[in-house]
Structure 1
């Protein structure tokens, strides 16, 4: 093998080794992500179970109970998929362990055969006379020394070979034990997966029972839905009216500030014109005085005229993306709110989303569509509702069917907290992240429920991408 080929071979081995290390690292990361998601799903299922327990305190079935059951079924299905992914990893470990065991067994057989050959050879040449004859039959002293060194190295190699056999046997035993542990782990995980499937079937059966009972109350549900649509329309109208008022006030304030700035700029321009006229008159008077006195420039050089001030373009308009961001404070608040997208805390410490933003088919009456302006969150009774970001309370209002609502301004963004049964803030209050606004309204299931909305100007946004994922 040439020197070049040796280097190519070494480089190839290094690439393969590094690739294997990267694969192992990615596998480890995937396992860590699986474990993390598994814990998160288990916590969400626990919260859903608590919410379901609270809804069952009601005397009869409700849509909230059906939504919690559906959410719980979805979470448990995700957990089962997570467990199946974990089983796939374990199967991969088992297959790798089996391959390693076969390789070690082959290596051990080879080592034992080689060692047996060494023992046979040593037995046949065990005579001290044969050893001495082998050394002293050398043609020269140097050759005799080399033969002696060969015998010494041979004995050392035989000793090392025995040690390698013992070490390989230990590695093989460790791999066998690891394989057994992996198989035990797989059996336990498969058992857990089956238990989750059994529970999932029970949840589905319970959901079907609730669904059928609600289906029998279709007329009542339709009337209730129509009432909720009217209530939601009132909330939307109230929010848009307040936001339009805020926009108009911000526009008036910006216009007044712009007018004041222009007046100040005009006054400054006139002042500069008057100063320039006075400077020109003074210069003309000085020139006449110099001509009358016949004063030479060389004898008395005139003072260097000050350079005229560079005009300032005071009429250059200050552009703003949005009138609600006209002030530096409002702009900074908007930018900070945007920068925290996906990081905002939940408005309640304990809660489960039972209604998602946007248009959805009715869970019972499939011919009817529902539209949620925000996230419907089931929460324990009397749960504190908190502000998700710094801002100013611009409206506190109440309406039939929705309880109290609090609207908070965050620059060009607004958060709206609907279905509160008590209030801790008033219009004009400055709030920070975590400020308690009130408590959740108790619904027909005798449990808490709120609606959380996010607005950009007068346009509704999906709140889910803004809050921390669970």
Structure 2
């Protein structure tokens, strides 16, 4: 009989082998790559549509240059994403090669061991030998153990044959998977090469537009100065409205505080009067009682003078305690409604909707380097969003319209208050709301203005916390 103990570790390993070989690399990263690839392609398609619109203008514009640069950046990210995907595929291919080598080696080992078992079984195929092996046992229990041993040996041979078949099937699947991975890598490499070719075309087009724009620096500089003056007008109007709101809120808070003080003084005076009246009544009652006792006992008035006890005075009522709001330091949140609106606005940081249904940021918040003249910087008080001509503009949060104005050179302006926060919508072509009107989230408040040079609509969104500017990109949701 062969020594079956030496085969038990191999059987255990073969039992785990299918589970080990079927374990795959984490799919989440691959799914994230696929999702990011789709998102980048969608953004590239949007940039292509925007480029078509800007090309309708008669001359090269900053919009064309901006869209081309955005396309180049997006396509570069897409190429990097494809390269990461290729690295994953290469890892899968290398893993498949290793698995195939391991399976081939294990299959050869199983076949060799199974051949030895078959040879031994052939040499000991006589039924007489097997019965002799059983009946030569010295005890009945020993005979039972020998019978079970032979039975386990037959089962082991059967499992060896099944393991050979399973390993062969698994090997064929791995070879097929390797073939698919190679085809996938070939297709992905082709995509990467195509994207690189398109990237070179985009770069050449960008260089041509940039070269033509540099020849118009004087015209561009004049536009920068004009836009700066228009932005200053809009900013001055917004600052004036916010300061006026703060002043109105401060006066209202002072009037309410003065009214509370007057009410407290009146309540205190009333309490003192009531206390004096109670004391006078108590003294009068004590005097009347003493006179009555003296009249009843004229001879012994002093000895039989009844003992008078002072009348207990009721405790003075405590003034009602007024609950202090959590943020009384801000006059713009003096009322519970304003405080709740501020807290609700803050809780939606990073989740606020865009003011337009479709669009992209063409001017970021803060100081930015000019797209053509590197020595020139421009300052944006909010974000400038490019959209369709005449596109509806919506309120990004519920609140009250505090100002509707027309700024020469800056289009129409709508300012909506949300507690201590203000959202400002500038460069509007038309307005659908009035001062004092309450608006809800997503309500249309006007239409986007038109940028004739770039042949697109645009709206500028600004967010203020009191008089402090905020970066709207931190507040609106990411696309």
Q: TM-score, normalised by structure 1?
A: 0.88
- Asked whether the equivalents of residues 385 and 438 of structure 1 are also in contact (C-alpha less than 8 Å), the reply is yes
Equivalence for 1:324: 332
* 2:361 counterpart of 1:353: yes
Larger gyration radius, structure 1 or structure 2:
2
Query: Any idea what SS the aligned residue of 1:87 has?
Result: helix
Alpha-carbon distance, 1:390 to partner = 0.7
- Asked whether the equivalents of residues 397 and 406 of structure 1 are also in contact (C-alpha less than 8 Å), the reply is yes
- Asked whether the equivalents of residues 51 and 380 of structure 1 are also in contact (C-alpha less than 8 Å), the reply is no
* 2:447 counterpart of 1:439: yes
Distance change (3 Å), C-alpha of 1:232 and 1:125: same
- Asked whether the equivalents of residues 345 and 467 of structure 1 are also in contact (C-alpha less than 8 Å), the reply is yes
- Asked whether the equivalents of residues 405 and 416 of structure 1 are also in contact (C-alpha less than 8 Å), the reply is yes
CA distance in 2, matches of 1:285, 1:73: 99
Which moved further from structure 2: 59-68 or 278-287? Answer: 278-287
1:209-232 residue CA offsets vs partner (Å, 9 max, x unmatched)? 111111111111111111111111
Distance change (3 Å), C-alpha of 1:83 and 1:287: farther
Query: Any idea what SS the aligned residue of 1:52 has?
Result: helix
Alpha-carbon distance, 1:385 to partner = 0.8
CA distance in 1, matches of 2:355, 2:324: 43
The residue correspondences of 1:357-376 to structure 2 (distance < 5 A) are: 357-376=365-384
- Asked whether the equivalents of residues 265 and 315 of structure 1 are also in contact (C-alpha less than 8 Å), the reply is no
* 2:209 counterpart of 1:210: yes
Equivalence for 1:11: none
Distance change (3 Å), C-alpha of 1:254 and 1:62: same
Structure 1 gap segments, 5+ residues each: 1-16
The residue correspondences of 1:265-344 to structure 2 (distance < 5 A) are: 265-289=264-288, 306-312=314-320, 320-344=328-352
Query: Any idea what SS the aligned residue of 1:184 has?
Result: helix
1:72-114 residue CA offsets vs partner (Å, 9 max, x unmatched)? 2222222222222222222232233222222222222221121
CA distance in 2, matches of 1:420, 1:67: 22
1:7-60 residue CA offsets vs partner (Å, 9 max, x unmatched)? xxxxxxxxxx9xx99xx9994333333333333222222222211111111111
CA RMSD of aligned residues (A): 2.9
Distance change (3 Å), C-alpha of 1:175 and 1:286: farther
Which moved further from structure 2: 128-137 or 104-113? Answer: 128-137
CA distance in 1, matches of 2:322, 2:336: 19
The correspondence for 2:457, drawn from 448, 461, 470, is 448
Alpha-carbon distance, 1:281 to partner = 2.3
Equivalence for 1:466: 475
Q: TM-score, normalised by structure 2?
A: 0.86
Equivalence for 1:13: none
1:266-322 residue CA offsets vs partner (Å, 9 max, x unmatched)? 11111111122222223333444555667x9xxx99997644323446798996232
CA distance in 2, matches of 1:62, 1:450: 18
CA distance in 1, matches of 2:390, 2:176: 54
Equivalence for 1:227: 226
CA distance in 2, matches of 1:333, 1:438: 23
Alpha-carbon distance, 1:460 to partner = 1.7
